[in-house]
Chain A
Amino acid sequence: MTDGAIIEAHDLTKVYHVGDVDVQALRGVNLRVAPGEFLSVVGPSGSGKSTLFHILGGLTHPTSGSVMVQGRDLLRMSDADRTDLRKKTVGFVFQKYNLLPTLTAEENIEIARDIAGRPPRPEQFQGMVKLLGIEGRLHHKPRALSGGEQQRVAIARAIVNNPAILLADEPTGNLDTQNSQVVLDLLRRLNHEFHQTILMITHNPEAAAYSDRIVHMRDGRIED
């Protein structure tokens, strides 16, 4: 790992086999993210940004190149190692929120701690839900929450285990302008006040403007 980098990728490639056809999703990505940085990855559909998100989050393995996340080489990771990475090192925020519909907001957040095998920490929990402005909505199921509230619950779930990296995939993609602003303000606050490293994928330049740095992807590569 280069000094100071929390994510470092060199010549990263990913090939998907779809039937008899090989689809080259990443064609040699080079990327360096410093701890505490808020980085936006912007690009059109099919540019490979979601694939990059999946690899950095340990949801899939790269084909070649090297990618280090907090000093761990993702290319050499087994399935169990990648599960461990998702449990302890990265937190996800998705465009569709992806909350479990049968659980309340509070249970949706607590299940992330349960999966990580960590006991609940009520004080930290209360501070976090207050920061996110969802303290009055904890006993509601997702269907009773607005899109903005669901996304704030999803952010709470993503950060409840204090991950080193927060990966957000189009976090405002399903939200109106007002709720988008609330969510983006929250992400920026998490970054500024708690030095949370955030890597956000978006195609919205206004959303990207909230970050410290923007990189553009096209055809499986990061453009200079």
Chain B
Amino acid sequence: MRTLLSALAIGIQVVLMLTLVGVSEGMLRDVAVRSRGTGADILIKPPGSSILTFSSGAMPEGIVNKVRELPHVAIATGSLVHQVGNAFDAIAGINLAEFNQMSGGFQYVEGGPFTAPDDIMIDQVYASQNNLHVGSTLKFGVSWHVTGIVVPGKMSRMFANLKDVQDRYSAINQVSVIWVKVDAPKNIPAVVEELKNLLPDYGVWSVEDYVSIVSADNVPMLKDFTRVVIGIGAVIGFLVVFLSMYMAVLERTREIGILKALGASPGYVMGILLRETVLLAIAGMIAGIVLTYFARAMLTRFVPSFPTVMVYAWWPRAGLIALAAALIGALYPGFKAARQDPIEALSYD
């Protein structure tokens, strides 16, 4: 039972790491998918804005007109993405005609496009997570009336008319991201260069470059957060194995005495405990991977807006971290066992 619980605890350490990495990676991949879903070739963000979200920062809407004047620019449209509710919910104010022209248009599962100033469209994920339908009301400081439910994958999970979002959230004539469609893919690099010259302090990327740089390593806060959680996981693993092996050494005092009476060296006794620890860590790793699938299923079921993926590259990394923590945890108990006096150990009942 002790062994089973120890393996399970090591498994939880692995679950922590794999789920966190899976959620981070899943969300970043989702950002990538939704960026591509706009149909744009280039995006522009205001100076100092976060790389991860479209909602941070604001720039004058007038810039959109300047962008439109550049050679090879076929479409340029501004969006104001306003964060509402929790950190992951945002309403994208869009110019529907321009956005449709660029992205190929929304696919409606239910209802239709917004028309009135308080109309809003939401995607299927957000609708199912919050049990919303056409006609439902959303309150984010002001009330919104759901007119349509669309297939996900285009920039945001909620859409309303740009002017109405600007008016209702006091961001008159401001946008937070500009999407640009170029007349031919071969002209994308040239337009990016032009934009960088035109807007020197702004973030200007081709969508493909943006997608490639949106990774956990390029989001400093996420990187630090991941490190902290992995560190906590490793400490849990260390403590679990330490206690487990300490108990094992106490429980097996007599057995260790027998081995020493038979001529087992401290290294031999230590070797047995370390081998057992490795097996425990492997069992924990397997349990952790199985439990991560379970955690992913739970997240998908109850929090579908948290797109979680299984990052296979992290299996060996999480396994090695768990193994290292377990081996460090086994060192002191192993040392104690190895130094056990055989006579005292043999008289132990």
Chain B contacts for A54, CB-based, 8 A? 343
The answer to whether A60 and B343 touch (CB under 8 A), given A83-B263, A87-B263, A88-B263, is yes
The answer to whether A115 and B264 touch (CB under 8 A), given A60-B343, A100-B255, is yes
B214 within 8 Å of A (CB atoms): no
Contact among B254, B258, B263, B343 with A116 in the assembled complex (CB-CB below 8 Å): B263
- Contact (Cβ within 8 A) A98 B343: no
A57 within 8 Å of B (CB atoms): yes
Contact among B258, B264, B265, B268 with A98 in the assembled complex (CB-CB below 8 Å): B258
* Majority SS at the chain A contact face: helix
Q: In the assembled complex, how far is the CB of residue A82 from the closest CB belonging to chain B, in whole angstroms?
A: 9
A209 within 8 Å of B (CB atoms): no
Task: State the CA gap A84–B265 with chains docked (Å).
Answer: 8
Q: In the assembled complex, how far is the CB of residue B38 from the closest CB belonging to chain A, in whole angstroms?
A: 63
Chain A contacts for B97, CB-based, 8 A? none
- Contact (Cβ within 8 A) A59 B261: yes
Chain B contacts for A92, CB-based, 8 A? 261-262
Q: In the assembled complex, how far is the CB of residue B251 from the closest CB belonging to chain A, in whole angstroms?
A: 11
The answer to whether A59 and B263 touch (CB under 8 A), given A100-B255, A115-B268, is no
Q: In the assembled complex, how far is the CB of residue B349 from the closest CB belonging to chain A, in whole angstroms?
A: 9
The answer to whether A112 and B261 touch (CB under 8 A), given A60-B343, A98-B346, is no
A18 within 8 Å of B (CB atoms): no
Q: In the assembled complex, how far is the CB of residue A151 from the closest CB belonging to chain B, in whole angstroms?
A: 14
B199 within 8 Å of A (CB atoms): no
Chain A contacts for B342, CB-based, 8 A? 59
B250 within 8 Å of A (CB atoms): no
B239 within 8 Å of A (CB atoms): no
Task: State the CA gap A99–B342 with chains docked (Å).
Answer: 15
Chain A contacts for B259, CB-based, 8 A? 100, 111, 115
* Residue in chain B with minimal CB distance to A167: B261
Q: Which residues in chain B, 253-292, are within 8 Å of chain A measured between CB atoms?
A: 254-255, 257-265, 268
Chain A contacts for B258, CB-based, 8 A? 98-100
- Contact (Cβ within 8 A) B262 A111: yes
* Majority SS at the chain B contact face: helix
Query: Interface extent on B, as a size class?
Result: 10 to 19
Chain B contacts for A116, CB-based, 8 A? 263
Task: State the CA gap A92–B30 with chains docked (Å).
Answer: 68
- Contact (Cβ within 8 A) A86 B263: yes
- Contact (Cβ within 8 A) B262 A87: yes
Contact among B255, B264, B265, B343 with A59 in the assembled complex (CB-CB below 8 Å): B343
* Residue in chain A with minimal CB distance to B263: A87
Chain B contacts for A98, CB-based, 8 A? 254, 257-258, 261, 346
Chain B contacts for A94, CB-based, 8 A? 261, 346
* Residue in chain B with minimal CB distance to A101: B255
A21 within 8 Å of B (CB atoms): no
Contact among B254, B255, B262 with A86 in the assembled complex (CB-CB below 8 Å): B262
- Contact (Cβ within 8 A) A84 B261: no
- Contact (Cβ within 8 A) B263 A57: no
Q: Which residues in chain A, 15-36, are within 8 Å of chain B measured between CB atoms?
A: none
The answer to whether A83 and B265 touch (CB under 8 A), given A59-B343, A60-B343, A98-B346, is yes
Task: State the CA gap A167–B260 with chains docked (Å).
Answer: 15
Q: In the assembled complex, how far is the CB of residue B344 from the closest CB belonging to chain A, in whole angstroms?
A: 10
- Contact (Cβ within 8 A) B265 A80: yes
A152 within 8 Å of B (CB atoms): no
Contact among A60, A84, A99, A101 with B263 in the assembled complex (CB-CB below 8 Å): A84
Q: Which residues in chain A, 73-129, are within 8 Å of chain B measured between CB atoms?
A: 80, 83-88, 92, 94, 98-101, 111-112, 115-116
Q: In the assembled complex, how far is the CB of residue A63 from the closest CB belonging to chain B, in whole angstroms?
A: 15
Q: In the assembled complex, how far is the CB of residue B53 from the closest CB belonging to chain A, in whole angstroms?
A: 56
Q: A92-B261, A98-B258, A112-B263 given; name 7 further pairs at CB < 8 Å.
A: A59-B346, A80-B265, A98-B346, A100-B259, A101-B255, A115-B263, A116-B263
Sampled A-B contacts (8; CB under 8 Å): A57-B261, A59-B343, A88-B263, A98-B254, A100-B258, A111-B259, A112-B263, A157-B262
Closest 6 CB pairs of A and B: A87-B263, A86-B263, A98-B258, A115-B264, A59-B342, A115-B262
| Residue positions of B touching A, CB distance < 8 A | 254-255, 257-265, 268, 342-343, 346
